[in-house]
Structure 1
Amino acid sequence: MSFVSSARATALHPEFRRGARDMLALSFGIAAWGLVTGVAMVKSGLAPPLAALMSLLVFAGSAQLAAMPLITSDAPIWVVWATATCVNLRFVIFSAMWRPYFARFPRWKRCLFGYVSGDLNYVMFMKRFPEPTPAPEHEPYFWGGVATNWSAWQGSSLAGIALANVVPVAWGLGFAGVLALLGITCSLLQDRATWLAGGTAAAAAVAAYALPLKLNILLAIAVAVAVGLGVEAAEQARRRARERAAEARR
C-alpha cells in the first residue's frame, strides 16, 4: 500500500474521527497555551520568522516557554539545552509506554510519532486503549488526536506570533497561559506517583526560586523525575510481592 493510500485509509477510519473528537474538548486550552507561547516568543525579542520556525520545528510549548527567558537573559547555551531537555524528559516515559503499541512500525514512522505526540495525546490514547496489545485501531485514533492537537497548537501559536506586537500586555495573556498550563497539568495527575511528583516539583521550584538563570526549574524537574520513578519502582516491587504471595498460597 502506498503512503497516500495508507494515509487516506487512516483518515477515513472511524477511530480517526473518534480521536479527533476526543481531543476537541481539550483544544481550547491548547489554543490558549499556544497563543500565549507565540506572543511570549516575540515579546522576548525573537524575530517573528524565527519564532514561527521554532514553533513548527520544536512543537514543545513547555520547552519553548522555559528556554525563551534563558535565551533573552544570555544564559549559557548548555543551560538552555539542559532546561529544554529536562522539561521534555517526560516524553521518554511516554515513548516507553507507547512502545508496545507502536514498536512494529518502521523507525521513520516512530520518529514522526515522536514529533507530533503531546501530553494530552498520550493521556487520551491511554484512556482509550489501556491494554498494551497491538491493534489496527491504534494508529487511526492516534492520528485523529494529533490532527486536532497539532492544528490547535500551531494555528494559535502562529496567530500569537503574528499578533504579538498589537496585543497589549495589559490583557494579561501571561496569566491566561499559566491557567491553561495549570489545567493541562491537572489533567495529567492520574495516580499517586504523578500527584507526588507534581507536588514535590512545585515545592522544589518555590524553595529554589532564588537560584539564578531559572535553575529552580531544572531542580524541580530533577526532583519530580526522581520521586516519580521512586514511587513507580516501589509500587512495582509491592505488586511483584503480592503476585509471589498469591502464587505461594496456591
Structure 2
Amino acid sequence: MFWQPAVYRRPDFMVGVRDMLPQTPGIAAWGLMTGVAMAKSGLSTVEAFAMALIVFAGSSQLAALPLLVAGTPVWVILATAFCVNLRFVVFSLHLRDYLMHLPLGRRLLTGYFTTDMSYAILTHRHPKPAEDVEGRGAQLAHLGGGCLANWLSWMVPSLLGIVLANFIPERWGLGFAGILCLLGMVATLAATRLRIVAAAVSGATAIAAYALPLKLNIVLAIGMAVVVCLTLESPRLKAARP
C-alpha cells in the first residue's frame, strides 16, 4: 500500500494527503472520542489497543462496546458490526475496477485502510477507473496518500484517548465521550467561515450565560448565533438578488 516506493514516490500520493487534510480535525475528534469510550467501557488497555488497531471502524466499534459490556454472545456482536458496516459492500463494488489489477493480498490490505472518507475523496478526484498502467498507478498513489492521512488522524488520537481516559475522573464517565462526540461533529461541520463564527459565538454565549436556570444558556447561545450569522449574511444576500 502506501509504504511501497512505487506508491509514495508519485506526486499523486501527496495530492491524496492534501485532499484528506481538511477532514482530519473531524476524524481526529471522533478517534479521540472512540478511544475514551473503549477505555471507559471496561476494556483493558491491551484490549482497547487491539480493538483500535485491528477493527479500525469507529461506527462498529461504538456499536459493539455496549454489547461487549453486557456480555452479549459473540455472534450477535459480529452480526451487529457486519450490519453497521454493510455500506462497505457498496463501496467495494465501486472500487472493484480501481483495484482488481492488484494481487489479493494487496487488495485485502487496501480494504483495511480504505474508509468512507478515503473512498469518497478518491472517487471525487477520479470518477472513473483508469484503463492504463500509468493511470492506475496514479489512482493507487492518490488512494494511498488519503488512506495514510486518514489512518494517522484516526489512530493516533484513538490510542491517545485510550491512554488519557485513565486520567479522566470516573464521575465523568461516558458523558465525557459524548462531549468529544459533539466536538467531532462540530469539527466536521465547521467547513466555512460563517459556520466557524456561529460555533464561536454560540460557544462563548453558552459559557458566559452558564448561570442561567433551566439550561437557558443553550437557548440563548443558539439565538445569538442565528442573529449574528443573519446579520453577516444579509449584505451578501441583498447583493445576490437580481
Q: How does 1:80-95 map to 2 (within 5 A)?
A: 80-95=77-92
* Mean CA deviation greater in 52-61 or 175-184: 175-184
Gapped regions of structure 1 (runs ≥ 5): 188-250
Q: Deviations over 1:108-154 (max 9, x none)?
A: 01001101111100110110101133422111000000110001111
Where does residue 236 of structure 2 map in the other structure?
Answer: none
Q: Indicate yes or no: 2:59 matched with 1:62.
A: yes
RMSD of aligned residue pairs (Cα, Å): 2.4
Where does residue 133 of structure 1 map in the other structure?
Answer: 130
Aligned length: 183
Deviation at 1:178, TM superposition (A): 4.5
Identity among equivalent pairs (%): 44
Deviation at 1:75, TM superposition (A): 1.9
Where does residue 40 of structure 1 map in the other structure?
Answer: 37
TM-score (norm 2): 0.70
Where does residue 25 of structure 1 map in the other structure?
Answer: 22
Gapped regions of structure 2 (runs ≥ 5): 192-242
Q: How does 1:1-250 map to 2 (within 5 A)?
A: 7-134=4-131, 135=135, 136-168=137-169, 169=172, 172-178=176-182, 180=184
> Retained in 1: the 8 A contact 2:32–2:180?
no
Deviation at 1:35, TM superposition (A): 0.5
Greater radius of gyration (CA): 2
> Retained in 1: the 8 A contact 2:13–2:141?
yes
TM-score (norm 1): 0.68
Larger RCO (CA under 8 A, 6+ residues apart):
2
> Retained in 1: the 8 A contact 2:30–2:181?
yes
Deviation at 1:9, TM superposition (A): 3.0
2: CA distance between counterparts of 1:89 and 1:163?
32
1: CA distance between counterparts of 2:56 and 2:38?
13
